[in-house]
A and B are shown apart, each in its own frame.
Chain A
Amino acid sequence: AQSVSQHNHHVILSEAASLELGCNYSYGGTVNLFWYVQYPGQHLQLLLKYFSGDPLVKGIKGFEAEFIKSKFSFNLRKPSVQWSDTAEYFCAPKSPNTGNQFYFGTGTSLTVIP
């Protein structure tokens, strides 16, 4: 778990503001990357994923993420947030270097004010 870092623990935005949540990992070599969202009282759901190819990936609900290999980063973005985006967001890399485990970042809590 120490190899996944989400810098922002709690973010508060007004509706229509832009969002960027940071995620850094420390695995070398091949890595697959995921962002999950957890709405209040619910389980985690996959938001988007990156395996290879275009480093800019688009997910559901207008979210996108950019993989920057040189920076070991996979930041999540959304141009204009809505109140319904209030949730907790988790970054999770998967790498053969970590064996069969699947570790998550500590999460970022996003509150969107109407």
Chain B
Amino acid sequence: DAGITQSPRHKVTETGTPVTLRCHQTENHRYMYWYRQDPGHGLRLIHYSYGVKDTDKGEVSDGYSVSRSKTEDFLLTLESATSSQTSVYFCAISERRDREAFFGQGTRLTVV
């Protein structure tokens, strides 16, 4: 498996609180992605990064922000968590934009 670590693996938080999820890679891959997975919706792209400090929005970016200050770390922040953001979040990395991505183990987030 590719060297991808997501933390935390599980989190329960209250509505209205900020939450940060971390994705750490040891592969030195340029591209990193955050997805959320919900029943009936498959995987939806939240944000992605194509280099240090280079990020852009995906299809479901409202309520989320990201930062990438180092190649190895890609942070996803829920600015004010809502119950609709209860989901499983996956980080993925890719060496080139036309190549396959490798996934982390996921973070299960519950907003109560």
Contacts and interface: CB of A to CB of B under 8 A. Distances in A.
Contact of A1 (B45, B90, B98): B45
Interface string A31-56: 01010100000111110010000000
A100 B97 contact: yes
A88 to B, nearest CB: 8
Contact of B41 (A94, A100, A106): A106
Interface stretch (B17-25, B63-71, B103-111): B103-111
A34 B41 CA distance: 19
A33 B90 CA distance: 20
A111 B50 CA distance: 36
B58 interface: yes
Interface residues of B, number: 27
A103 interface: yes
Nearest to B35: A104
User: Is chain B's binding surface mostly helix, strand, loop or mixed?
Assistant: strand
Given A1-B59, A102-B92, A46 B43 contact: no
A104 B42 contact: yes
A62 interface: no
Interface string B73-108: 000000000000000001010100111111111100
Interface of B: 31, 33, 35, 40-45, 48, 50, 56, 58-59, 90, 92, 94, 97-106
Interface of A: 1, 32, 34, 36, 42-46, 49, 90, 94-96, 99-107
10 smallest CB-CB distances across A and B, nearest first, come from A106-B42, A104-B43, A107-B42, A43-B103, A44-B103, A100-B50, A100-B97, A43-B105, A32-B98, A94-B98
